[in-house]
Chains A and B, each alone.
Chain A
Amino acid sequence: MYDYPDSTGHFGPYGGIYMAETLIPAVEELRVQYLRYRNDPEFKAEFAYELKHYVGRPSPIYHAKNWSDRLGGAQIYLKREDLNHTGAHKINNAIGQALLARRMGKKRVIAETGAGMHGVATATVAARYGMECVVYMGAEDIVRQAPNVYRMKLLGATVVPVESGSRTLKDACNEAIRDWVTNVESTFYIFGTAAGPHPYPMMVRDFQCVIGNEARIQMPEMIGRQPDAVIACVGGGSNAIGLFHPYIEEKQVEIIGVEAGGHGIISGSHAAPLTSNSKVGVLHGNKVYLMQDDDGQIIETHSISAGLDYPGVGPEHCWLKDIGRAQYVAIDDDEAMQAFHDLCRFEGIIPALESSHALAHAAKIAPAMGRDKVLLVNLSGRGDKDINTVARLSGISL
């Protein structure tokens, strides 16, 4: 039986609570409170209600038949997380944590965001539940994801640009942690991915497992069986673990995580710690595979998609890689862009650049597979936020 993390928050050697002392009591309180509500019928019922009536779940599964036909091999099915309220899977977790924050009496929430989807989700739930909201976002990402910045402001959140370091997601995390350490008693940190100190990797996973739990019911209804493989993009890896985790015991289903290959693994300019065999290290509260130099300094990553532009990865993905239950591959910027355009043109769906990495890998392996094979890809978010980036790369100014 696969049963992780252990009671100290470790997935094998990964995970843990690598935080400054001031925050240790806060993560401990969070752990105790989460364990208290995790199986509480009233909490679960409220979470389910919100997912159904506010988010619009269950999200459908769609057979991308045109695209599959063009590829000429395996059939590609899409789990439509892009149809959720706020346009991505991030809202599942934001609601779960906001419900917990309310029960813990916290009136102020903070978040880090890369592509802006988690920031928008957090700003949304803060508006929904009447909480003050501050979102930290790298200055670089603020430029890349301008529409999402404005959405957060419309929702009443304060967006704080982070100018330190590489001015992207990891630096936004650093700044959110600094806020938390300063305002630890009043503030709940709604962490956006299945990483960070225990219990975040477990808690975020649990909230995102709605994706895989639905898929396990929906796929047999649609095709009479489970898919041959489930595929999702991996930055921190929350949409991926949400799809993967319910499939871990379904041994016949292959699990494939797709990292951001940037300009290619060989170039060194990417955000693929698992695929590039990075060394294990400690950052943002957990021990994980981490992109770093020989001296243990975190190196700047690159990806076309802000949401995958992160040097680490959630601890459970590290463990799934080590035990061989999941395989991890990388898709470079150009391949992701191709999949982005193909899905737009052949299926009438504009995917997020993050999700386009998962799509691109499906497109890569589908042609060599039989037409009776089925790939389920997590379409984790919609691409409206990315149109400026795509236009710029195509030499078009909007």
Chain B
Amino acid sequence: MSRIQATFEKLKQDNRRALIPFFTAGDPSLALTVPLMHAVADAGADVIELGVPFSDPMADGPVIQRASERALKHRMTLRGVLGMVAEFRTKNSITPVVLMGYGNPIEAMGWELFAKRCEEVGVDGVLTVDFPPEESHEAFLHLQRHGIDPIFLLAPTTEEARIEKVAKLARGYVYYVSLKGVTGAGNLDLSDIAKKIPQLRKHIKLPIGVGFGIRDAATANAVAKLCDGVVVGSRIVQEIEASTEQNVIANVGALINELRQAVDQA
């Protein structure tokens, strides 16, 4: 059983929802990424989505764009991110790690080498924002070969026939993009999500995580009531941006604690 599957099964037994924080590797510094991963895991994160920075993050709002720019300024590379996961795994063999980003850095490395390295260092899932199922044949093949879950996105605009198609390919969990917009946008509509989730459930047997636009404990709590996992990205990256190197671990840990409580009260 994969780490992701084990995590969601345990959550289900406990009747809890997953808290899935996202932040960008290499932000605020190369040295702080692994400590941040441990901090969020210790504070109650169930899955960590670790952002691989890209020069042209087309699906991201300004907050995560800036995080990518900072990380790239620190010369964060895909190889470097894989190394960080390896380091994280020396002390944590339980918390699933999903790499999230855009396809080109992986294309540049080559999918086979990338998937092999993912397996070696203990990456559990990969989400490439700009690789829809139609263009993911090669990626899927290599990820499968090395036991890495391809995580797919579904959106408010996704119609039933496509949901069915994605259901066949997806592994691990499915990430539902809660709104029409970029990450961190302010137009979250809970009733839209409430309407869409049952439509997804008809075809998707995997756990459904919801993300984009979840900005505080209250929205995390409300969204958690509707799905199996809550992804929080921009809000965490904002906390990182507003902190100093000295207090960032404590601040992010406290934020995760707060979100954890909110999700558990759902």
Contact = CB atoms under 8 A, between A and B. Distances in A.
A227 interface: no
A184 B58 contact: no
Contact of A182 (B134, B153, B180): B180
B108 interface: yes
A283 interface: yes
B153 A296 contact: no
Contacts of A171: 56
Given A181-B180, A295-B78, A20 B157 contact: no
A298 B72 CA distance: 11
Contact of A178 (B58, B129, B130): B58
B177 interface: yes
A292 interface: yes
Q: Is the interface of B mostly helix, strand, loop or mixed?
A: loop
A21 B132 contact: yes
Contacts of B72: 297
Given A170-B56, A297-B72, A182 B185 contact: yes
A290 B104 contact: yes
Give the size category of B's interface with A: 35 or more
B23 interface: no
A249 to B, nearest CB: 30
Given A16-B134, A182-B181, A297-B55, A21 B103 contact: no
A297 B54 contact: yes
A20 B134 contact: no
A296 B104 contact: yes
Give the size category of A's interface with B: 35 or more
Contacts of B243: none
A328 B256 CA distance: 53
Contacts of A283: 56, 104
B157 A184 contact: yes
B103 A25 contact: no
Contact of B156 (A22, A279, A282, A296): A22
A22 B132 contact: no
B245 interface: no
Given A182-B181, A295-B79, A297-B54, A8 B134 contact: yes
A280 B138 CA distance: 15
Q: Is the interface of A mostly helix, strand, loop or mixed?
A: mixed
Nearest to B105: A296
A165 interface: yes
A334 to B, nearest CB: 29
Interface string B114-144: 0000000000000001111011000000000
Contacts of A22: 59, 153, 155-157, 177, 180-181
B157 A26 contact: yes
A299 B104 CA distance: 12
Most buried by A among B69, B129, B157: B157
Contacts of B200: none
Interface in A367-392: none
B135 A292 contact: no
B42 interface: no
Given A17-B132, A280-B107, A295-B105, 10 more contacts: A8-B134, A22-B153, A22-B156, A22-B180, A164-B62, A182-B185, A184-B157, A281-B108, A292-B108, A296-B108
7 contacts: A20-B58, A22-B180, A177-B58, A182-B185, A287-B107, A287-B135, A295-B77
